[in-house]
Amino acid sequence: MIPLSTRPSPPVPSLPGMLSHADMREQLIRLLDETEAALAGDQEAARASLAQALKLLARARSEARPAPRPHGKLAGWQIKRVIAFVDAHLGSTIHVMHMAKEARLSLSHFSHAFKLTFGEPPLSYVTRQRLLKACDMMLATDAPLSHIAYECGFYDQSHFTRHFHRRLGMTPQSWRRLYADGPVD
């Protein structure tokens, strides 16, 4: 085995993002092993290994900090409240004004922040959630499509079919036949 004092330790890269988490973990383990082995004989090598390990840990801590929330998006508590509100009221009429009240924002500020946060306007999101609920109901029950449409907040089966076809490219009945018994290979 080569003595620690003659074996050079690779320098810790100074540019952020050069090491993956696995590489950083391996380097830390290696440095701590070297430190432990050098403690009895070569305290200078032990100090050098510890210093490099501390640099790695400091860099990992600074890189692990969450990015600040981009300006203009909804806060976490607002997102949770709006999602809960929409989920609770899917079967009835949902107005953007009521969603904005849940987030405690003006209508225009809420609409802008919602689109930045979710990537789509509020009513588009509501329609998507209604369609997801309808798909779940079509797979889980044998209920008529008119009943499913009503339960999911669509005005009638025609309204449901129009939105379904626009988003999924087929009618609800075709989708139900295709996926009710599992996807076709």
Model confidence at 178: pLDDT above 60:
yes
User: Of 11-15, 30-34, 155-159, which gets the smallest average pLDDT?
Assistant: 11-15
State the Cα–Cα distance between residues 172 and 102, nearest whole angstrom: 32
Q: What is the DSSP string of 65-115?
A: SPPPPPTTSPPHHHHHHHHHHHHHTTTS---HHHHHHHHT--HHHHHHHHH
Per-domain residue ranges of the chain = 21-63, 76-179
Higher pLDDT, 66 or 119: 119
Q: Using one digit for the tens of pLDDT, what is the confidence trace for 53-106? A: 777 777 766 665 666 656 789 999 999 999 999 999 999 999 999 999 999 999
Distance in angstroms (rounded) separating the CA atoms of residues 98 and 111: 11
The band of 148, judged by pLDDT with boundaries at 50, 70 and 90, is: very high
The pLDDT assigned to 19 comes to 60
Whether the CA torsion 161, 167, 171, 173 is positive or negative: it is negative
Q: What's the fold here for domain 76-179? A: Arc Repressor Mutant, subunit A (1.10.10)
pTM for this model (two decimals): 0.60
pLDDT tens column, 37-68: 777 777 777 777 777 777 777 776 666 566 66
